[in-house]
Amino acid sequence: NAGVTQTPKFQVLKTGQSMTLQCAQDMNHEYMSWYRQDPGMGLRLIHYSVGAGITDQGEVPNGYNVSRSTTEDFPLRLLSAAPSQTSVYFCASSQGALYSPLHFGNGTRLTVT
């Protein structure tokens, strides 16, 4: 199993550009989530999904959209990139939302100039 796969690994955007960060998992996990991590800080939840067709906002959802059309994929869209969105983005999945540990992708390092 590949686990959780994120693409791209690195991305540079100009302010105002849009892009989609891809996340796919092959473990048949119901729960998926997106976090961002700024230097010297912990992970903050952007959006999460408890199953296909269901998404909800986390702690810092503004400027991001998600969709969950399949169990496997959970893309994160930046609508109009801003320098404040420069961060490392991690996608994670787990078997359930409550008692199961999270499995993380390798991360996407995004710089917005």
The separation between CA 90 and the C-alpha centre of its own chain, rounded to angstroms, equals 5
User: Is residue 26 a contact residue for other proteins (CB under 8 A)?
Assistant: no
Looking at the Cβ atoms of 86 and 104, the one nearer to other proteins is 104
**Judged by CB under 8 A, which of 34, 35, 64, 74 binds other proteins?**
35
The residue count of the chain comes to 113
Half-sphere exposure of 4 (CA within 13 A, CB side): 25
Is position 77 an interface residue for other proteins (rule: CB under 8 A)?
no
- Out of 19, 27, 50, 82, point to the residue binding other proteins (CB under 8 A): 50
Contact 113, 12 (CB under 8 A): yes
Residue 48 identity (one-letter amino acid): Y
Of the candidate residues 74, 105, 110, 112, the single one contacting other proteins (CB under 8 A): 105
Q: Is 63 left (phi over 0), alpha (psi -120 to 50) or beta?
A: left
Residues that bind other proteins (CB under 8 A): 31, 33, 35, 40-45, 48, 50, 56, 58-59, 88, 90, 96-99, 101-107
